[in-house]
Structure 1
């Protein structure tokens, strides 16, 4: 009798449907930097959240492509549930009514502070007084240094340049080491004019006036920045290379100083593979007190309007941006996590063992928002600035940086919304 009861119970269990899973679709940028990161976080998440299935779409090629894709998908109703976008892209999704506010989830979750969430994290994704995004991977501009070439140039590797004048002087010396050696490269065309904003903000400048009606980068800070970039070309002999070619040349030991994002650190370190003594160093000429550096990197934004999916998406966001997810991100990339518990607990020994990763963390007090130009011409303005900077990098107008700045100012001013 007992045998028949057990058999009947087993058969009943066998036909019961499996617990329903909620699928959350995620899309993120730059697969070469983040594929491993997101895969590892998903694996960790699904161990403790069997009721939520995370699916990835093919990565966006860039922040620009990701923004345009979501804007198109918002019309056709084909958006992912969660999108990862550049920090300077939050504004456009809020203005278009696409991003979903997170304030209700944050207010209802008392454990967030314990897991390392804090006000500064929320501030980065705040627009119009509400939180619409959580920062995932934060980067800052830094200097990558080939110490072997510094020594070959007769310079002291313990006294690395802290001003742009010193950078140009050292770059000239490094360039003289060999015909196939570059003194310096500067990833000026990083998405969103990031390395144009950096030297302007570092000198205490801004992109626009406070009411966003007038260009403000044409002041002292902007003149300093544009003349610095021109000096890299005219005085230090900087070559006109694509970002991948800059990275490859540096990793091959052919460039002394390379300025780009901390996001490249894991990839560059792997490519260098011990061929030379690699060191990272802080961004030059940040004015004490007023100087800032734009926080690069990306944020997570919930797009789905379905209430049940939003609950599941919030659980995903909490894990991805929480201490465990943030620590995985830091170990697999060169970015730094904004999560406090990840830095203070999970990564305490990591920074001791990997001082090159700590360079960005040492600049965290300088963080400011990566600026997004307003309204419908915002993306077009970034392209206009890029085109003007390109005229300097190619050498076509490298000898007249002040005139380039004047033309850039006039062209951007025409695209600003009229009050």
Structure 2
């Protein structure tokens, strides 16, 4: 797919080489090729039609948001930055703090129609630091439940309104599925990037994971989050699958319930077997549902080191195009992400969600949108790994005493935070 995208970009540029006095190249890097390659295949021709003298050179895709952050930090030192990068919503701050990301305000003020493009205020705030916009959200996701309804029928669930609304109900459904002979009834996305599902459990209780420089796993809500994970993993006898294997296994019809980001919906729909797929709201600790959920996804950031106004303007044109209007609409059509602006949602996609109810689930959860929090300081990636290892220990059975794990995680993470140094 990467070769295909590169070929498309090359052909588009070649087609205008003689039509324009100068072709400007914008280097672009993004994560998760399995999710987004098909999106950019749709966007590139639309962009080229509008800006035939701008070539988009695709760099090798980042493996994950952590990889995206690490790569940009290395490239900044080596002087090899792209012009535009896609970074996880929770990884923008470090690029701003280190002066790698450029403020977009100088470009925004020149756009007479910028406000009309209708960026959602809540989503735009995710890329705003010190009252300046540094990142425009490209794709926004929320956690949802994926259900193989053919398999769920074995547990007596035959309609969406019967799907579990709480984690206790999920565990009960796992038991029924196992009794019906289902070997792997459930996968819960503990290993999704950036400790996202830990934050989902914390926000479900209306508790941020970070409060200033304090990691709030040491609170009652933190312990409830750990205990909930233990109950799910044990009660559903969940296998410790690598996340790509989990998605493939669910798509193959081997898992009854999967709790994951809505981002993967397009990929699952394209690869799934012959079963009836339904999505539904993310369960809560109580029947009233979560009180909040973290916004996943990524934002486009300008990190170009060029001083040529024409090159910077070309980079801005690409950045703006992919995050507004037609570009954003293609995100919804080809993935499970939500577009970050009203122009895409309310005009271009007016009938889209009516005809694609599985993709509407996340939209219904928009009132729950909360920050996907970053870990402050230079050790953010190391903290992510410490928490990842702790949660994996619950999955594998290494950790069984949750108050003990709570204390261990609190101490290890706090030592890595600015207040602990």
Q: Compute the TM-score of the two structures, normalised by the length of structure 2.
A: 0.91
**Structure 1 residue runs of 4 or more that deviate by more than 4 Å after TM superposition:** 286-290
Q: How does 1:323-342 map to 2 (within 5 A)?
A: 323-342=325-344
The structure whose Rg is larger is 1
1:36 and 2:35 aligned = no
Query: What is the CA deviation profile of residues 86-117 of structure 1, one whole-angstrom value per residue up to 9, with x for unaligned ones?
Result: 11110110111100001121122120122233
Determine helix, strand or coil for the equivalent of 1:182.
Answer: coil
Determine helix, strand or coil for the equivalent of 1:165.
Answer: helix
Q: Which residue of 2 aligns with 1:13?
A: none
Check the 8 A contact 1:206/1:217 in 2, yes or no. no
Query: Alpha carbon RMSD of aligned pairs, Å?
Result: 1.8
Q: Which residue of 2 aligns with 1:53?
A: 55
1:403 and 2:401 aligned = no
Cα distance in 2 between the residues matched to 1:129 and 1:323: 24
Relative distance call for 1:118 and 1:260 in structure 2 (3 A) is closer
Check the 8 A contact 2:283/2:290 in 1, yes or no. no
Q: Which residue of 2 aligns with 1:166?
A: 169
Q: How does 1:40-189 map to 2 (within 5 A)?
A: 40-157=42-159, 158-178=161-181, 180-189=182-191
Relative distance call for 1:110 and 1:121 in structure 2 (3 A) is farther
Cα distance in 2 between the residues matched to 1:165 and 1:104: 51
Check the 8 A contact 1:201/1:221 in 2, yes or no. no
Q: How does 1:250-399 map to 2 (within 5 A)?
A: 250-273=250-273, 275-285=274-284, 291-305=291-305, 306-308=307-309, 309-397=311-399, 399=400
Determine helix, strand or coil for the equivalent of 2:57.
Answer: strand
Determine helix, strand or coil for the equivalent of 1:267.
Answer: helix
The worse-fitting range, judged by mean Cα deviation, of 229-238 and 77-86 is: 229-238
Deviation at 1:234, TM superposition (A): 1.6
Deviation at 1:204, TM superposition (A): 1.0
Q: Which runs of 5+ in 2 are unaligned?
A: 1-17
Cα distance in 2 between the residues matched to 1:258 and 1:121: 26
Q: Which residue of 2 aligns with 1:249?
A: 249
1:215 and 2:218 aligned = no
Cα distance in 2 between the residues matched to 1:303 and 1:262: 28
Check the 8 A contact 2:150/2:275 in 1, yes or no. yes
Matched residues, number? 399
Deviation at 1:175, TM superposition (A): 1.9
Relative distance call for 1:277 and 1:17 in structure 2 (3 A) is closer
Cα distance in 1 between the residues matched to 2:255 and 2:276: 12
Determine helix, strand or coil for the equivalent of 1:281.
Answer: strand
Q: Which runs of 5+ in 1 are unaligned?
A: 1-15
The worse-fitting range, judged by mean Cα deviation, of 92-101 and 308-317 is: 308-317
Determine helix, strand or coil for the equivalent of 1:418.
Answer: helix
Cα distance in 1 between the residues matched to 2:355 and 2:121: 29
Cα distance in 1 between the residues matched to 2:283 and 2:134: 33
Check the 8 A contact 1:205/1:219 in 2, yes or no. no
The worse-fitting range, judged by mean Cα deviation, of 116-125 and 229-238 is: 116-125
Check the 8 A contact 2:166/2:289 in 1, yes or no. no
Q: Compute the TM-score of the two structures, normalised by the length of structure 1.
A: 0.91
